[in-house]
């Protein structure tokens, strides 16, 4: 049967993995897809490097626009990244009637609605398994495997860089800055790690998972995003004393009045499987009504793990290449005319539990003042730890875990606690999820 011809845009870390795995497993992939899948052309500004990787086996160009316009190309694989040129190329490929496979979570989280609408209009597919959790097939699980279920919530460790940093801080008791430098030296963190450590990368990914889970448009601009830059080793230690570990989680949950969409450091009970995901690994926990909890675990980045997801999409698109567009799985799992209009809840409307750490003067009545403020705001304490002052000091730490309450209530209580004369500095506030 005639091969499916692929135009590969970008042959960096993931692109080279796609080329390598596709060549190495060509026979197996062809048996699964029903026909050969071949890379016909590679577009990359580093032409000589592209020739070296491909060994002269395919045509090389530095003009990506010529690839998306080439009538011989059936599927365009976009691995350039970013929001601008990648968006232009993806839309041009769609306009030219080509299917698209992409690993670009930032692009889809910000421009996905218009891209999916354009693809729907032209009757082509946009596949993006590699955009979330690398080689972990979480997109396919939500789009197809869990179709019978009403998804209740998703919580995921979906950024390997931050998970590595938190694992090292916990294991070695090191400060954030020190671990970040080590992660950069090992290649686990970029020279500019802002998207990772500030939670933006995880927010791109949970935005896509939320849309798939609940049948809503992608709404990255409404996500609450908080990174790990302010976390300290002492808070990680205190959390462990209560039986919790701190993970940067992407969380989305269906509520009666809307959908939660948030990324932030989170205390998780250490007995939960997801709390024991260490290093650069990713894990996504999905709670659904029929199947219950399911956990998806694996490498969330890297050349061949991500290539695995890209090629899985290539096989899917090849199988459905000639199918009636109406009979394909919708891009966001739900039919476009049946998308829900659920609002994204502002963070102040979210209900969860909290970890609070206060630095206070060591004198009578301080704890009573603090607990009175919490009681006035209807916030109950679940557990508390009061540390003795270090020798020669007159200040001590008080650490509290609260029961679930509305975020706006905890915000008001923290403001009042910080105004107490005996409280020194800002109150450290972290969120806590039982994930039951």
- The catalytic residue positions are 205
Residue 197 CB coordination number (10 Å) = 23
Q: How many CA atoms, within 13 angstroms, populate the side-chain half-sphere of residue 104? A: 27
Long-range contacts of 83-89 (CB under 8 A, 24+ apart): 83/107, 83/110, 83/111, 87/111, 87/115, 89/9, 89/64, 89/65
Residue 196 in 3-state DSSP?
helix
Q: Is the Cβ–Cβ distance between 41 and 10 less than 8 Å?
A: no
Bridge partners (DSSP) listed for residue 101: 77, 127
Spatial separation of the C-alpha atoms in residues 410 and 394, rounded to whole Å: 27
Q: Is the Cβ–Cβ distance between 80 and 89 less than 8 Å?
A: yes
Handedness of CA 63, 69, 74, 77 (dihedral sign): positive
Spatial separation of the C-alpha atoms in residues 300 and 284, rounded to whole Å: 10
Q: Is the Cβ–Cβ distance between 205 and 105 less than 8 Å?
A: yes
Q: Is the Cβ–Cβ distance between 278 and 233 less than 8 Å?
A: no
Q: Which tokens in the block code for residue 128? A: 């993006």
Spatial separation of the C-alpha atoms in residues 94 and 336, rounded to whole Å: 17
Q: Is the Cβ–Cβ distance between 297 and 277 less than 8 Å?
A: yes
């Amino acid at each position: 049967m005639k091969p499916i011809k692929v135009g590969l845009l970008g042959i960096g870390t993931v692109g080279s993995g796609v080329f390598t795995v596709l060549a190495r497993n060509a026979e197996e992939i062809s048996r699964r897809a029903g026909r050969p899948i071949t890379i016909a052309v590679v577009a990359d500004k580093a032409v000589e490097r592209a020739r070296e990787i491909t060994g002269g086996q395919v045509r090389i160009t530095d003009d990506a626009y010529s690839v998306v316009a080439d009538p011989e190309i059936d599927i365009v694989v976009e691995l350039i990244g970013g929001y601008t040129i990648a968006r232009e190329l993806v839309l041009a490929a769609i306009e030219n009637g080509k299917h698209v496979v992409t690993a670009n979570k930032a692009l889809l989280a910000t421009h996905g609605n218009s891209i999916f609408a354009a693809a729907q209009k032209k009757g082509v597919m946009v596949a993006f398994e590699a955009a979330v959790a690398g080689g972990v097939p979480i997109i396919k699980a939500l789009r197809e495997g869990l179709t019978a279920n009403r998804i209740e919530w998703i919580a995921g460790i979906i950024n390997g860089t931050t998970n590595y940093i938190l694992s090292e801080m916990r294991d070695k008791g090191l400060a954030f800055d020190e671990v970040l430098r080590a992660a950069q030296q090992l290649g686990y963190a970029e020279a500019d790690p802002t998207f990772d450590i500030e939670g933006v990368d995880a927010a791109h990914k949970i935005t896509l998972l939320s849309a798939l889970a609940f049948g809503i448009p992608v709404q990255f601009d409404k996500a609450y995003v908080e990174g790990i830059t302010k976390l300290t080793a002492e808070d990680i230690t205190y959390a462990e004393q209560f039986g919790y570990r701190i993970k940067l989680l992407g969380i989305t949950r269906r509520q009666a009045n809307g959908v939660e969409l948030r990324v932030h450091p989170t205390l998780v009970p250490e007995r939960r499987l997801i709390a024991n995901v260490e290093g650069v690994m990713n894990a996504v926990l999905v709670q659904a009504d029929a199947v219950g909890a399911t956990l998806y675990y694996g490498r969330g980045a890297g050349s061949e793990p991500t290539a695995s997801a890209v090629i899985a999409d290539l096989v899917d698109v090849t199988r459905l290449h000639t199918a009636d567009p109406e009979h394909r799985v919708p891009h966001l799992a739900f039919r476009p005319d049946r998308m829900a209009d659920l609002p994204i809840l502002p963070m102040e409307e979210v209900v969860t539990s909290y970890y609070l750490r206060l630095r206070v003067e060591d004198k009578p009545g301080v704890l009573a003042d603090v607990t009175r403020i919490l009681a006035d705001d209807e916030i109950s304490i679940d557990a508390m730890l009061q540390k003795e002052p270090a020798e020669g000091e007159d200040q001590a730490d008080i650490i509290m875990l609260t029961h679930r309450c509305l975020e706006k209530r905890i915000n008001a209580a923290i403001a009042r606690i910080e105004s107490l004369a005996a409280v020194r500095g800002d109150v450290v506030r972290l969120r806590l999820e039982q994930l039951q």
